[in-house]
Structure 1
Amino acid sequence: MERAAMAEADWQAVWLTLKLGVASTAILLLVATPLAWWLARRSGWLAAAVQAAVALPLVLPPTVLGFYLLLWLGPTGFIGETLESLGLNHLAFSFEGILVGSIIYSLPFAVQPLVESFRRIDDEQLQVAATLGANFWRRFWTIVVPYCRGGFLVSATLSFAHTLGEFGVILMLGGSIPGETQVLSVLIYDHAEAMNYDAAHQLSLGLLVFSFAVLVLVYGWQRRTTGTSEARLC
């Protein structure tokens, strides 16, 4: 009975982790694309400040980010208190809360590959298309997206893979609530803390193999498609 219940909790954490990864990746692509385009086309102190703010989670301890998010999104924080005044629930210790934390913490992994990809675009191609009457959105979908599809794939994959391994931010902001905030990384910690090393090893090994396989396949595909796109533009 105990092993069956534990297996059920493990699968629940797997589903919650995948749900968090898919949701955060989809939102990150929507947010990161215009932000990366702006950063790739701008210079100066403002662009440097924005890029530094985006990259801050790379050097900031996850517990620090999680702590401040807990203060802001909790019942006494500005955002949490505002939500409660509107008749809504605060976001601390909820799936919506760890989704916000995941988006912020994984933002540099979504933005930076797109910035580098956008910077490699030949501006002459866009200028020629503009002289032929193509508006910005047509130029973006017919020139930028095909050429930068490798960048989009790397951005999405890094965002998703990074979400799978998030721990500090989620533990600080969401705790370990089964079915709500207990994702795989947190459940592995709970198993290890309870000295249930077999379960922790099984989940850790599965997460390691899955993450490595996804990255190998995507980076291999990205190297081939990048070469093909560059050859077409030359």
Structure 2
Amino acid sequence: MMLSFDPIWLTLELAILTTFVLTLITIPISYWLTFSSFRYRFIIEAILNLPLVLPPTVLGFYLLLVFSPNHWFGGWIEKLFDFRIAFSFFGILIGSILFSLPFMLQALQVGFSSIPKTHIDTAKVLGKSKLEILFRVILPNCKPAILAGMILTFAHTIGEFGVVLMIGGSIPGKTKVTSIAILEEVAAMNYHSAHIYASVLIVISMIVLLVLFRYKRSVSIVFAEKD
């Protein structure tokens, strides 16, 4: 049986899209969590970081229930758009975004918190709006943290298993990522194929970690200089 590299490409596609979407949505969330004076924002923060302590299968199970056509939300989506979220690439993308959100969120919060308060106060004195402060003061000074968050998110996504399996199953070319392919090859006692898949993930993971730890030094230097 010829080895299919579709799971590898699908894994990379999932990781890239998850990282891109999370970079966009976590910037305003992190900004609000870091600088908001809302008294109970810690509750929101706890909810957003829940995937850190939840077993992946628990998150995947409830997402599967919500996305199911038997649930009002899943049924409404399918009726309105003639599209079923469960067992689709879009479904595992949503699951991946929710499961990896804390990794990007925490990296950005650390970066935002490291901005000297004097920078922000000066911008306010000059009459800059919150949006201008975000794009002209905070983000330019948080590039190292943003990149670190993107690397962590990408690395976390390529190794996802439980959430993806629960929401997407194992549909070749649609939801069958590399981690699931390894399980199936081992179950079928095709250890050679499983070894190839596993080796590719090891190489990708190692490259990502090398970039992360190489860049971690740069991040530390940048924030040390700001202090």
* TM-score scaled by length of structure 2: 0.93
> Contact (CA 8 Å) 1:154, 1:219: kept in 2 or not?
no
> Contact (CA 8 Å) 1:146, 1:229: kept in 2 or not?
no
SS at structure 2 position matched to 1:118: helix
| Residue among 49, 53, 58 paired with 1:55 | 49
Counterpart position of 1:116: 110
Report how many aligned residue pairs link the two structures.
Answer: 227
Partners of 2:150 and 2:72 in 1: CA distance: 31
Partners of 1:226 and 1:145 in 2: CA distance: 17
Once structures 1 and 2 are overlaid, which stretch shifts more, 179-188 or 45-54?
Answer: 45-54
The answer as to 2:207 corresponding to 1:213 is: yes
Partners of 1:111 and 1:210 in 2: CA distance: 23
Question: Where do 5+ consecutive residues of structure 1 fail to align?
Answer: none
Question: Where do 5+ consecutive residues of structure 2 fail to align?
Answer: none
Once structures 1 and 2 are overlaid, which stretch shifts more, 39-48 or 88-97?
Answer: 39-48
User: For 1:11-50, what aligned pairs fall within 5 Å after superposition?
Assistant: 11-42=5-36, 46-50=40-44
Alpha-carbon offset, residue 141 of structure 1: 2.5
Alpha-carbon offset, residue 166 of structure 1: 0.5
Counterpart position of 1:129: 123
User: For 1:166-185, what aligned pairs fall within 5 Å after superposition?
Assistant: 166-185=160-179
Cα root mean square deviation, aligned: 1.7
> Contact (CA 8 Å) 1:154, 1:222: kept in 2 or not?
yes
Alpha-carbon offset, residue 23 of structure 1: 0.9
Query: What per-residue deviation string (whole Å, max 9, x for no partner) do you get for residues 58-83 of structure 1?
Result: 11111111111111001112221111
Query: What per-residue deviation string (whole Å, max 9, x for no partner) do you get for residues 95-136 of structure 1?
Result: 010011001111111101111111111121112123224333
Over the matched positions of the two proteins, sequence identity in percent amounts to 40
The answer as to 2:68 corresponding to 1:74 is: yes
Partners of 2:211 and 2:109 in 1: CA distance: 22
> Contact (CA 8 Å) 2:148, 2:215: kept in 1 or not?
no
> Contact (CA 8 Å) 1:92, 1:174: kept in 2 or not?
yes
Alpha-carbon offset, residue 213 of structure 1: 2.0
* Paired AA for residue 167 in structure 2: L
* Paired AA for residue 80 in structure 1: G
> Contact (CA 8 Å) 1:80, 1:89: kept in 2 or not?
no
SS at structure 1 position matched to 2:40: helix
Partners of 2:156 and 2:198 in 1: CA distance: 14
Partners of 2:86 and 2:174 in 1: CA distance: 11
SS at structure 2 position matched to 1:181: coil
Question: Does the C-alpha gap of structure 1 residues 219 and 30 become closer, same or farther in structure 2, counting only changes over 3 Å?
Answer: same
Partners of 1:123 and 1:88 in 2: CA distance: 50
Alpha-carbon offset, residue 44 of structure 1: 6.7
> Contact (CA 8 Å) 1:153, 1:222: kept in 2 or not?
no
Partners of 1:89 and 1:135 in 2: CA distance: 41
SS at structure 2 position matched to 1:176: coil
Partners of 1:176 and 1:227 in 2: CA distance: 44
Question: Does the C-alpha gap of structure 1 residues 123 and 216 become closer, same or farther in structure 2, counting only changes over 3 Å?
Answer: same
Question: Does the C-alpha gap of structure 1 residues 66 and 225 become closer, same or farther in structure 2, counting only changes over 3 Å?
Answer: closer
Question: Does the C-alpha gap of structure 1 residues 85 and 222 become closer, same or farther in structure 2, counting only changes over 3 Å?
Answer: same
Alpha-carbon offset, residue 45 of structure 1: 5.8
Alpha-carbon offset, residue 225 of structure 1: 4.0
The answer as to 2:184 corresponding to 1:190 is: yes
Alpha-carbon offset, residue 181 of structure 1: 0.2
Partners of 2:71 and 2:39 in 1: CA distance: 31
* Paired AA for residue 202 in structure 1: I
